[in-house]
A and B are shown apart, each in its own frame.
Chain A
Amino acid sequence: STDNSIKGKYVRLDFSASGEVSSMTNLKTGLKVPLSQNFFYYEGMTGNNTKGEFQASGAYIFRPQKNEPTKLSLKFFAGIQRGVLVQEAYQQVTNWVSQVYRIYEDKPYVEVEWTVGPVPVADHIGKEVITRYHLDGFENKKTFYTDANGREILERVLNYRPTWQLKQTEPVAGNYYPVNSFISIKDTKKNVQFTVLVDRAQGGTSLNEGDVELMLHRRLLVDDGKGVGEALDERDIDGKGLVTRGTHYLLLDSIENSSRLYRPTAQDIFLTPAISFSTAEVSPVQYV
């Protein structure tokens, strides 16, 4: 098929011929934006005592070695599945990173299920894996929004603090903020808001215009010297690095409509139904 898109009643996602996301459309309003998404990793700072740069990246401290992360290019597009209720597209990025894009017929969001790990460290480089959504031509004017534990929404401005004169010494980490429920960017000229809801607290930022960046998984080899006394190198019982899986929910709408979407969606994510099963060997009618 040449139709590289998945859609439901409310949203559509298009993919390029090579399987990378190319655009997102709100089918209710007709709003369409060019969208790309890639995985990267920052190399964790190991520290250097002789140069006075002892502070390593670790459990307490995020401190990348370089300000530009290394890109993990898409290895292959593993196809699309179309059901009546759900459509899915599969991406394999590396041997240790994969992703499913999923659109349910009746939901206004794109569900992105990412799987990362075990992060390879045989090269003795600690890695901090991020995903970066990018809307080309989007002007959020160095401003993005994060929530405070799902309550107040706080405006974050790149390299700026509202109550003191900031001398920025960490161009990446100094712009990372807690994302408990969601992170969003707004283009007031085009009246577009792009929102990413998370299923767990993560770190997030918007370092470039049109970017939403979220930290997914960290595996580091050096203790940051802040008290834990161990490197952030969590392993399973067999000694292998952890595989982590989580979900992002992407929403696209006008600025005035967005909160009507992200607030109920955040509730649905936080308080999902509790599922239990039983196996009584009776017919449904008898059971009722």
Chain B
Amino acid sequence: KEQLNILASALGTAQHHDAITGTEKQAVVFDYEERLANGVNQVQNVVQDVYNKLMPKGGAAAPEQLFCTQLNISLCSVTANLTNLQVTLYNPLAREAKYYVRLPVSGTKYTVYQSDGKTTVQNDVLPISPGTAQIPLPTNRTAHFEVVFLASVPALGFSTYFVRRQSTSNVLRFQREYYRTQV
């Protein structure tokens, strides 16, 4: 509860009309950002606690959960270089969610297994978009592709998918058409 309250408090502070509309001074923007980031970091611990509780009694604790907050610009150090990854999705909707997961990766061929660990699901591997590639970053990108698959998550529940990199292959599994038309 204490950990959740840090985010709740930051969100409460950010209900001020200046935070809602963006009419605050730049220094205040930085302060709101710091408070919200602290809150999000704390809530990640809570997610870990919840998954630990969901594991069978007497069994192992849930593996350490890692988070990527920059997936919208195809940045994630966790997924970028890994060959064996578990992706857990929690669905806050009160109905089943069908969600296309996009993960930045450096390989070009992957197998994705459903939550039973046996059944494979279709995936695409696409290069990250040229617009994303040109976003200035403090460090170089290690992931130049994105693996995409459709996840199905039950209402107010979670699913785990397994993403495994296949042996290195330069044959991309998509049809590429490249044409630059100067206008």
**Chain A positions near chain B (C-beta within 8 angstroms):** 1, 17-20, 59-60, 73-86, 88, 90, 92, 98-100, 104, 106-107, 113, 115, 226-230, 232, 234-235, 240, 243, 245, 267-268, 271-281, 283-288
Contacts and interface: CB of A to CB of B under 8 A. Distances in A.
Interface residues of B, number: 77
Contacts, number: 186
A243 B136 contact: yes
A273 B153 contact: yes
Given A85-B124, A107-B100, A275-B89, 10 more contacts: A1-B177, A76-B181, A86-B124, A113-B129, A115-B131, A274-B89, A275-B71, A275-B88, A278-B88, A288-B117
A275 B47 CA distance: 10
A86 B99 CA distance: 12
A151 B5 CA distance: 27
Interface-centre pick from A82, A88, A92, A275 (highest chain B CB count, 10 A) = A275
A268 B150 contact: no
Nearest to A247: B72
Contact of B129 (A100, A227, A267): A100
B160 to A, nearest CB: 7
A106 B82 CA distance: 28
B29 A234 contact: yes
A132 to B, nearest CB: 17
Contacts of B116: 288
Interface string B116-139: 111000111111011110111000
Interface of B: 18, 21-26, 29, 44, 47, 51, 62-68, 71-73, 76, 78-79, 82, 84-93, 97-101, 113, 115-118, 122-127, 129-132, 134-136, 148-151, 153, 160, 162, 164, 173-183
A228 B23 contact: yes
A115 to B, nearest CB: 5
B177 to A, nearest CB: 5
Contacts of B98: 106
Contacts of A272: 99
A97 to B, nearest CB: 9
A86 B128 CA distance: 13
A115 B174 contact: no
A90 B131 contact: yes
B129 A85 contact: no
7 contacts: A77-B180, A83-B125, A90-B131, A234-B26, A275-B87, A278-B86, A285-B117
